[in-house]
Structures are given as structure tokens and as C-alpha cells.
Amino acid sequence: MSTYFISDIHGCYKEFRMLLKKVSFNTKKDYLWIAGDLVSRGPDSLNVVKYLYSLKDRVKIVLGNHDINLIAVHAGVKKNKKENYFNEFLSSSESADLINWLRCQPLLKVDERRKIIMVHAGISPQWDINIAKICALEIAHYLSSKNYSVFLKDIYNNNINFWKFNLNALDKLRYSMNVFTRMRYCYPDARLNMFYKQSPSVVKYPLQPWFLIPSNISKFYSIFFGHWSSLKGTYIPKPFFSLDGGCCWGEELIMFRWEDKKWFSQACLSK
């Protein structure tokens, strides 16, 4: 049995299946952990999600910002944009079932035995593990509910960028969504910056990647995340593992095997 970590497949179905073949992924013995952004940007989001849905309990998923965007577009909360490549997915007879499956996936996965965390964008340096779990469960509750479209209409707000226990309930959800699915940079006091996306090589202090801000959680867990393809070539300290290889931008899909700490990759086919 092996456990593989990957992120930001972004509809690159052919490359994804080639990478699984490269590692001889066994659907009866192995486990696949995916740190979000299954869909969008790439050409075949539908087949990516259909395949993962077929794996049942062999796959562990956390949602990324593009996955939540697909759910919002399907619900009519957001407009479908050309660069999403969602048309095939939305017109499929299976789309409703797949969307209902997606919106029941978590934003945080924690393995306490192996001390592993998986998340799409990151973990707030202001949180301990119990707060992180509570915040993820609250979002999952609303996203999986019948009124999820109402929740998605109210959840986005770039100005909610600092954690306080006296935040109102909605702003706590907004902050949590920003952290789990969109965070990249923080200020030294752990305040989020929701606007910069470039490589740390071109972004100057006081902004720092979120994983360089001291936190209690990183003392005890290995943390797997995606979301940030421009981190390539950036120093990333242990215990953090960056999984976004930028395949949808012409780079590669990357995968990490936990048991022997080995990396694998598959180049984009449309370079």
C-alpha cells in the first residue's frame, strides 16, 4: 500500500492518468490524496472528476478555489468564463451527481496517526490545529447543505484578512475560506494579503509566504498544499510540501509518495 499526494490537476486528465500509470497506482491497495483544484484551465475537467468519483474511498480530496468556483457556476451564483473550460462538465448528464459529490468534500484533511495535513492553499499562522479543524467543518457544513448557493453568494470578501475570536460568524467563514483556498502571502503579524500571486523572488518584505510565518501547527505536522505554481525554485522548509507543478501552464504534474518520500512528475503534453 502506498499513499500518493498530488494537487492542481486542473483538468489535465491525460497527464494525470499517465502519472498514475508511471507509479503503477493500484486502485485496490493504494491511496490518492489530492490537494484541490481538480478542475478548470485544463481541457478535461469532466473526466478528471468522473475518474476520482469512481475511486470511492481510495481517494481523499480537499477542495480548492477552482473546485468551489465550479460549484458556484453550476448553482448560478457565478458566471461561467471561457478560461474555465466548464462547458462539457456543465452539459453532462452526470454533472449534478458529480457536483453534489464535490460539495461534500472537505477543505482540510488531517491524519493524526501520521501527523499529516492536506489543504489547498494553506493553514493560518494564527490557528492551532483545533481551530483549523473547527473552521473547516463549519465551511463543509454550509457547502454540503441544501442552501449552499446562498452560502456561496456571501462567502467572498478580500477584506477579511485577520483572525479574531470576536469576528462575527459570517466573517469567520470568509476568513477561513480565504485561508484554505486562496492564501499565498502574509504580513509579519500574519495578516493575509489577498492580491499578490507572483513568485517570492519578486515580492519584497514585509510580505512573506504564509509558510514562513511562525506557527504552532507546523511544529507537529507535515503540511501538503497546492495552489501556488510560481513557487517553483523557491526554498520551502520542512515540514511543508508544495504540490502545484503548474501543468495547466505548460509545466508538469508532480506527485509525492509518502512511504519512501519520493517525487514523480509528468510533463504537460501541450507545451
Looking at the DSSP bridge assignments, the partners of residue 241 are 224
| Interval 149-191: pLDDT, tens | 999 999 999 999 999 999 999 999 999 999 999 999 999 999 9
User: Do 14 and 270 touch, CB atoms closer than 8 A?
Assistant: no
Query: What pLDDT does residue 270 have?
Result: 80
Mean pLDDT of 218-242: 94
Round to whole Å and give the CA distance between 186 and 210: 5
Whole-model pTM: value is 0.96
**What are the tens digits of pLDDT across the range 22-47?**
999 999 999 999 999 999 999 999 99
Are 9 and 46 a contacting pair, CB within 8 Å? no
Taking CA atoms, 152 is separated from 25, 174, 180, 210, 255, in Å, by 35, 10, 15, 25, 31
CATH number at residue 34: 3.60.21.10
Tell me the residue range of the domain where 129 lies. Answer: 3-267
Q: How many CB atoms lie within 10 A of CB 49?
A: 26
Report the domain count for the chain.
Answer: 1
